[in-house]
């Protein structure tokens, strides 16, 4: 096992990795930009090093600086988290060339699966079903028009070099193809430095279901079940759960075996995820994410397997101690991404200082957060502040537990997506498990439209926050009794003197 690792990331995932390392008896080194001097991951680490100004291009994306810090502090390995440099094959190779261990897959595996067209070719050869489309990048808009005509509209133009919804356009008719091809290519160039685009048949209203994988260097590759990730906005996931409400045990086994075959096709090592589209009883390979996923906690809760610890163990040369038959699934888990965005104003980013934070607790509640009171939320990084995850014996119990946890959660100083998540938990189709990737589009009116009542609630919350500030600074004001957020409960449950008005 390693004695010391460097965590080349920030926020909640950096803190998550640091905690996993500490539980293994491994020292963890943090890095931070000038904007993150007082971030929780910096304070939690054994050592921390400033690596540059706030823009990520001058700090967290400086692979040379990260490697230099790792060598200077005596770290033996680098954990990339997700995002930033986690799927950059040149960085992985540079880590290896420096005599360090990269906690993740090989640069060859990342290259093979990072290029979406190359990945399609490989998995087709391995017998994995894919959505009809091209194996190679399109040469120009004329070829895109020709292929789209053969595949049949609607089609999806996708960046070959990346994911996360960047460089992606739905084309519903021939008159849109040229403009969409240019727009997708330009966005792909800006996001990934590569304007290559390929084409797939657009499936109308499939579910987005992914399979978690774990593989070691001794030839063992296991799947750890599926996650339902169909609630999305512009291809960005908002709510995830495990297991899916629709897969049968037979379908789970088939998708798992297919994901394992895809991973073995590139000699994959570590934690990874194969994403599928599930439509009318059929599933199709979408892409492979060669890193830990944001939504990994729901898999951890239903399997009892610590994925981040096993990333570190596998990188240190350990073999997985289970067979596929040993993997068991218990209960249901749901994750809500807590972002600094205003869901009732087109999810516009919200910035400011966190002036108050009440984290929900209790049975089956997990908080993976990267914020604390006093932390400044800016525009330099992804707006995700934290993840709220719950686990319960059944899906409906998990939904109710998530509602309770969301009501207890209080983040003051910035707008968050919490009100949106509360609406989702009460929406009938969600509660019944009737989901697909058009869920948000179908339910936009009830989930995203501001209402008079919502404005009253937000105004009341502001008034309550001001009252709380006054209480803290005025000793003569009596302490508010049970039922307030300070006592760990929701103000909406208060039966004392506080009322909405």
Q: Is residue 122 part of a domain?
A: no
In this predicted structure, what is the pLDDT of residue 104? 98
In this predicted structure, what is the pLDDT of residue 133? 86
- In this structure, the answer to whether residues 80 and 163 fall within a common structural domain is no
Annotation says 291 is catalytic: yes
In this predicted structure, what is the pLDDT of residue 69? 98
- In this structure, the answer to whether residues 297 and 224 fall within a common structural domain is yes
Give the CATH number of the domain where residue 26 resides: 3.40.50.20
In this predicted structure, what is the pLDDT of residue 341? 97
- In this structure, the answer to whether residues 337 and 241 fall within a common structural domain is yes
For residue 217, give the nearest of 300, 311, 299 by alpha carbon: 311
Q: Which residues of 395-427 are buried (b: 16+ CB within 10 A; e: fewer)?
A: beebbebbbbbbbbbbbbbbbbbbbbbbbbbeb
Q: Is residue 390 part of a domain?
A: yes
- In this structure, the answer to whether residues 72 and 218 fall within a common structural domain is no
Q: Residue 387 has which token pair?
A: 């993840």
In this predicted structure, what is the pLDDT of residue 467? 59
- In this structure, the answer to whether residues 45 and 137 fall within a common structural domain is no
- In this structure, the answer to whether residues 241 and 361 fall within a common structural domain is yes
For residue 66, give the nearest of 39, 38, 92 by alpha carbon: 92
- In this structure, the answer to whether residues 9 and 40 fall within a common structural domain is yes
In this predicted structure, what is the pLDDT of residue 191? 80
In this predicted structure, what is the pLDDT of residue 444? 94
Phi, psi at 411, each rounded to 5°: -120, 115
Domain boundary among 83, 103, 123: 103
Q: How many other CB atoms sit within 10 Å of the CB of residue 272?
A: 28
Beta bridge partners of 169: 157
CA distance 90 to 201: 32
- In this structure, the answer to whether residues 191 and 233 fall within a common structural domain is no
- In this structure, the answer to whether residues 436 and 292 fall within a common structural domain is yes
In this predicted structure, what is the pLDDT of residue 470? 57
Counting as low any pLDDT under 70, the low residues of the chain are 162-164, 451-501
Q: Is residue 499 part of a domain?
A: no
Identified catalytic residue from 291, 401, 404, 491: 291
In this predicted structure, what is the pLDDT of residue 479? 39
Domain count, the chain: 4
Give the CATH number of the domain where residue 327 resides: 3.30.470.20
- In this structure, the answer to whether residues 405 and 292 fall within a common structural domain is yes
- In this structure, the answer to whether residues 181 and 220 fall within a common structural domain is no
Angle at 45 between CA 40 and CA 49, to 5 degrees: 95
- In this structure, the answer to whether residues 80 and 222 fall within a common structural domain is no
In this predicted structure, what is the pLDDT of residue 136? 82
In this predicted structure, what is the pLDDT of residue 127? 86
The whole domain housing 76 covers 4-103
Domain boundary among 174, 201, 228: 201
In this predicted structure, what is the pLDDT of residue 131? 85
CA-to-CA separations, 483 to 408, 479, 486, 492, in angstroms, rounded: 10, 12, 8, 8
Q: What is the pLDDT of residues 43-78, one digit of tens each?
A: 999 999 999 999 999 999 999 999 999 999 999 999
Residue owning tokens 């005509």: 149
In this predicted structure, what is the pLDDT of residue 454? 55
Domain boundary among 184, 201, 218: 201
Q: Is residue 126 part of a domain?
A: no
In this predicted structure, what is the pLDDT of residue 165? 72
pTM over 0.85: no
């Amino acid at each position: 096992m390693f004695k010391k690792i460097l965590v080349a990331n920030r926020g909640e995932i950096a803190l998550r990795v640091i905690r996993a390392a500490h539980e293994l008896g491994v020292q963890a080194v943090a890095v931070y930009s000038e904007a993150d001097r007082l971030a929780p991951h910096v304070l939690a680490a054994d050592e921390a090093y400033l690596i540059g100004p706030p823009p990520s291009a001058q700090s967290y994306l400086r692979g040379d600086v990260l490697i230099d810090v790792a060598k200077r502090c005596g770290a033996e390995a680098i954990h990339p988290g997700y995002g930033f440099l986690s799927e950059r094959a040149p960085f992985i190779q540079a880590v290896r060339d420096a005599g360090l261990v990269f906690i993740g897959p090989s640069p060859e595996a990342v290259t093979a699966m990072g290029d979406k067209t190359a990945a399609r070719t490989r998995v087709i050869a391995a017998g994995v079903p894919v959505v009809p489309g091209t194996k190679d990048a399109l040469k120009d808009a004329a070829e895109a028009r020709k292929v789209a005509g053969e595949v049949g509209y609607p089609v999806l133009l996708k960046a070959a070099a990346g994911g996360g919804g960047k460089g992606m356009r739905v084309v519903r008719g021939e008159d849109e193809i040229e403009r969409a091809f240019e727009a997708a290519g330009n966005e792909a160039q800006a996001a990934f430095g590569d304007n290559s685009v390929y084409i797939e048949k657009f499936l109308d209203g499939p579910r987005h279901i992914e399979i978690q994988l774990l593989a070691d260097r001794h030839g063992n590759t296991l799947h750890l079940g599926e996650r339902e990730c169909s609630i999305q906005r512009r291809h960005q996931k908002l709510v995830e759960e495990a297991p899916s409400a629709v897969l049968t045990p037979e379908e789970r086994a088939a998708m798992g075996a297919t994901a394992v075959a895809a991973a073995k096709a590139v000699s994959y090592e570590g934690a990874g995820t194969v994403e599928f589209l599930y439509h009318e009883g059929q599933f199709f390979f979408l892409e492979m994410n060669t890193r830990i996923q944001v939504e990994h906690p729901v898999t951890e809760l239903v399997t009892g397997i610590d994925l981040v610890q096993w990333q570190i163990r596998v990188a240190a040369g350990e073999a997985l101690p289970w067979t596929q038959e040993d993997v068991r699934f218990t209960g249901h888990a749901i994750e809500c991404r807590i972002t600094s965005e205003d869901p009732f104003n087109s999810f516009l980013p919200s910035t400011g200082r966190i002036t108050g934070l009440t984290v929900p607790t209790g049975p089956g509640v997990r908080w993976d957060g990267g914020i604390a009171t006093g932390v400044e939320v800016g525009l330099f990084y992804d707006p995700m502040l934290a993840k709220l995850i719950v686990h319960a014996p059944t899906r409906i119990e998990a939904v109710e537990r998530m509602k309770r946890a969301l009501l207890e959660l209080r983040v003051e100083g910035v707008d968050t997506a919490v009100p949106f998540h509360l609406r989702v938990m009460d929406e009938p189709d969600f509660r019944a498990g009737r989901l697909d990737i058009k869920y948000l589009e179908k339910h936009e009116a009830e989930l995203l439209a501001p209402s008079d009542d919502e404005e009253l609630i937000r105004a009341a919350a502001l008034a309550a926050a001001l009252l709380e500030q006054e209480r803290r600074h005025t000793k003569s004001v009596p302490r508010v009794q049970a039922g307030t957020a300070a006592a760990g409960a929701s103000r909406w449950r208060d039966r004392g003197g506080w009322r909405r008005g």
